[in-house]
């Protein structure tokens, strides 16, 4: 066996991570497979590898041969062995963009300006009613207009009564009912800002800060991360986001993306004790059929837009009313695997240096599981964690 070009073995907590640059993939190798790979890299022949396996792991000749064959088949299936390379997967062809509309008349009577990340967005409405629906969810992102816009979103009713949403005069989305409008507009603002911003990784996570560090809460929908993030913001932490962590630079610092918190209708009662006016906010209908409210963060909780915070800890929350609220240490390899499950976008071509930096970042960052039955107890645990990090 010989390593395929562009394949590198790195280590996290003494466990092997095989990086295959042509496919832009990472693979976890167990101890035996990592050991065999090291011997392959040294150019050892089959017989030498079997002998070293027997000596190192006290294996019989048959067991050593079995481990070797299993590892060889695995590495071949990954395309990591010369002669078994796989063709790079074809990049997805982006859908063809509609032609810009050629409006020859001015239908817009209301205009707002919002900023998020590095985007300055002008939003125009064909009537005041549409502006009244959208603005409460975005008003905390209001831009003073001193910086020229780099995107324009237009919202208007067409001749059939449907609501059309355009970005830079290109039709993007549409809906037939007003109750569906705000989720579409909020999502478009988010996508517009993220796509125009320079970052390394986009992780699906809640993010809060303590003035020194930020804390990531990566989790799948329904885990309670938005509820936890909201409760922490109410209890004095900075609000970065309830659903997106953008990691920047070699140190993988995080910036605020403070869109309004999405609260499902079923979670209104839980969070109303923190924000009594929550039940009075308008209900909206998402494409997935969920009825939601959007709760803008209190401005006192939102850090300046140019803030970059180092990550103090990565905490994977899970709401479970039948378990004790408890913070438990998580191994870094398991943390990396869980984190990658919530990675939405890698906005750069991965190379050996970038992957090495990512593994080093995970290895030096404390990682935990947080079982949540009581929000108050969970807030206390995160507060204690913050104090421990500050005191050293």
Q: Which residues of the chain have pLDDT under 50?
A: 104-105
Tell me: the pLDDT tens digits for 114-147?
Answer: 999 999 999 999 999 999 999 999 999 999 888 8
For residues 203 and 6, give the distance between their C-alpha atoms in angstroms, rounded to a whole number.
26
Place of tokens 């939405």: 344
For residues 279 and 259, give the distance between their C-alpha atoms in angstroms, rounded to a whole number.
19
294-319 burial, b if ≥16 CB within 10 A, otherwise e? bbbbeeebbbeeeeebebbbbbbbeb
Query: Which pLDDT score, from 0 to 100, does residue 183 have?
Result: 96
Helix (H) or strand (E) holding 242: none
Query: Which pLDDT score, from 0 to 100, does residue 144 have?
Result: 86
Helical segments of the chain, H only: 31-41, 46-57, 61-78, 128-138, 181-195, 225-234, 268-272, 332-341, 352-364, 375-391
pTM of the model: 0.88
Query: Which pLDDT score, from 0 to 100, does residue 105 have?
Result: 47
């Amino acid at each position: 066996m010989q390593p395929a070009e562009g394949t590198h073995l790195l280590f996290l907590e003494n466990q092997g991570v095989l990086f295959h640059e042509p496919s832009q993939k990472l693979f976890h190798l167990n101890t035996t497979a990592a050991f065999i790979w090291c011997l392959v890299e040294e150019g050892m022949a089959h017989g030498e590898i079997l002998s070293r396996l027997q000596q190192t792991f006290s294996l019989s000749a048959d067991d050593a041969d079995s481990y070797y064959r299993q590892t060889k088949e695995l590495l071949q299936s990954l395309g990591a062995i010369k002669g078994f390379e796989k063709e790079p997967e074809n990049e997805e062809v982006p859908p063809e963009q509609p032609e810009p509309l050629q409006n020859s008349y001015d239908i817009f009577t209301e205009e707002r300006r919002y900023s998020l990340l590095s985007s300055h967005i002008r939003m125009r409405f064909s009537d005041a009613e549409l502006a009244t629906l959208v603005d409460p969810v975005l008003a905390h992102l209001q831009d003073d207009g001193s910086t020229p816009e780099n995107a324009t979103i237009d919202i208007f009713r067409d001749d059939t009564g449907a609501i059309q949403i355009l970005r830079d005069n290109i039709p993007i989305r549409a809906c037939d009912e007003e109750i569906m409008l705000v989720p579409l507009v909020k999502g478009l603002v988010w996508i517009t800002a993220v796509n125009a911003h320079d970052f390394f990784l986009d992780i699906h996570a809640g993010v809060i800060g303590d003035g020194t560090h930020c804390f990531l809460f990566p989790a799948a929908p329904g885990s309670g991360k938005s509820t936890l993030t909201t409760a922490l913001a109410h209890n004095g932490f900075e609000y970065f986001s309830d659903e997106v962590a953008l990691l920047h630079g070699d140190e993988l610092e995080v910036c605020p993306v403070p869109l309004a918190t999405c609260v499902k209708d079923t979670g209104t009662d839980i969070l109303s004790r923190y924000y009594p006016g929550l039940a009075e906010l308008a209900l909206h209908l998402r494409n997935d059929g969920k009825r939601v409210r959007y709760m803008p963060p209190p401005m006192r909780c939102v850090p300046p837009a140019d803030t970059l915070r180092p990550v103090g800890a990565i905490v994977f929350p899970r709401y479970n009313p039948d378990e004790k609220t408890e913070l438990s240490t998580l191994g870094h390899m398991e943390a990396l695997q869980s984190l990658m499950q919530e990675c939405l976008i890698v906005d750069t071509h991965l190379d050996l240096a970038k992957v090495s930096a990512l593994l080093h970042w995970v290895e030096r960052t404390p990682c935990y599981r947080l079982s949540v039955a009581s929000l108050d107890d969970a807030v206390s645990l995160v507060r204690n964690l913050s104090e421990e990090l500050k005191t050293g």
